[in-house]
Amino acid sequence: MEKMPLKTVKEQLAEVQGWKLEDEKWLIKKYRFRSFLDSISFVNEIAKLSEEENHHPFISVDFKVVTLKLTSWRAKGITELDLMLIKKYDSLFGPYQINTSK
Q: Contact with a copy of itself (CB under 8 A): which of 2, 20, 34, 58?
A: 58
Using the minimum distance from each CB to a copy of itself, give the nearer residue, 66 or 83: 66
CB of 38 to a copy of itself, least distance (A): 11
52 binds a copy of itself (CB under 8 A): no
Q: Cα separations (Å) of 34 from 17, 39, 66, 87? A: 19, 8, 11, 21
What's the rounded Cα separation, in Å, for the pair 33 and 27? Answer: 20
User: At residue 31, what are phi and psi to the nearest 5 degrees?
Assistant: -110, 135
- Largest alpha-carbon pair distance within the chain? 44
Which CB sits closer to a copy of itself, 41 or 88? 41
Position among 50, 75, 80, 92 found at the interface with a copy of itself (CB under 8 A): 50
